[in-house]
Amino acid sequence: MAKGNPARQKMINMMYLVLTALLALNVSKEVLNSFFEVNKGIERTTTNFTLKNGDTYAEFDNAVLNNPEKYKAVRDKAYSLKKQADAIVDSLQRMKYDLVLAVDKKVYLGSDKDFRDEEGEIIKEKAKTVNWNKLNNEDKNKAVGFSNGKDNREQSGRLFYYEKSAAIGNEQSATTRKKEMESLRDLLLTFSEGNDRLQTSIVKNFDFSDRKLDNGKGKSVNWEYYNFHDMPAVSALTLLSKMQSDIRNAEANVIDYLKKDIDAKSLKFGDAEGVAIPQSNFIIQGDSFRSTIFIAAKQEGQEPEIWVGDVDTSSGLLRSAPI
């Protein structure tokens, strides 16, 4: 998982492109529902990335506990990436909630068991109708579980890139997210220096250049317009989930690279010194001197206890005092 599972990521990208093309047509309700299921799959993948990343950060923390001088700098570097990635993922999560709230006037969060009864019917009382700021932290981390207005083509552009407002200089939320992800991309590239393959993947997944409409035959438009103007709500929702997945995937790859890079270049102990063990403590004229010479590792603060006398290792009872 730390390597990002490129096969799964390519499959998700392909499914997204196919369904986006279908949505350009007058498609059936079944296709819209299928697109929403793709969104759920992407969210599950993002959750897996997040859990795996948590394990990697825990390894950084443990390394710092054992040897702060050696590992604190790289741990702090990894956590600076985490802080920036977390902030963008949270902002994208808010955009998803705001979109469904604008379309449906209510949002059902979590999995089906969180808002459906035993017969599979939606429990209306489970719906959230408040704005994002009034949600508790637990609800903010839940996925959107249901949407009724999947074919709505107005709210995505109105909320995230309203062209008339952008034309008079008002920065839109889609533009803000793009700038944040560009900054994150630059940080990812800095931290992955020396790994050309990883950097190529980052550049590809964080490409915010202008796009051409009509399958590359029409006029060029900016990234924000291309992704959110006149876009069905379910497609915009899935796109936002894909951005979150790309961020967590890149984060996983880079922090794994940082950890492996440190492990490869550092010793597994605090210090080393030369040790000589002579075969004899004295020699006389004409004799030869022989000694075993080697380099020994040591770690300050982890001196062993040496016991002299009888020690019962099975019971832990000690019949003599430690040196």
Q: Provide the residue type at 289 as one letter.
A: F
Q: How far is CA 86 from CA 65, 215, 253, in A?
A: 24, 33, 15
Q: How far apart are CA 211 and CA 205, in angstroms?
A: 15
Q: How far is CA 15 from CA 12, 36, 298, in A?
A: 5, 12, 54
- DSSP secondary structure code for residue 279 in this structure: S
Q: Which two tokens stand for residue 268?
A: 């597994």
pTM higher than 0.85: no
73 closest CA partner among 83, 85, 63, 82: 63
In sequence order, the 6+-apart residues with CB closer than 8 A to the CB of 67 are: 270, 299
Q: Which two tokens stand for residue 300?
A: 């300050």
Q: From first to last of its 323 residues, what are the pLDDT tens digits of the chain?
A: 445 556 665 665 666 556 555 555 555 677 788 889 989 999 999 999 999 999 999 999 998 998 888 889 999 999 999 999 999 999 999 999 999 999 999 999 999 999 999 999 999 999 999 999 999 999 999 999 999 999 899 999 999 999 999 999 999 999 999 999 999 999 999 999 999 999 999 999 999 999 988 766 778 999 999 999 999 999 999 999 999 999 999 999 999 999 985 665 455 566 778 788 877 777 777 777 788 887 877 766 666 677 666 666 555 555 555 55
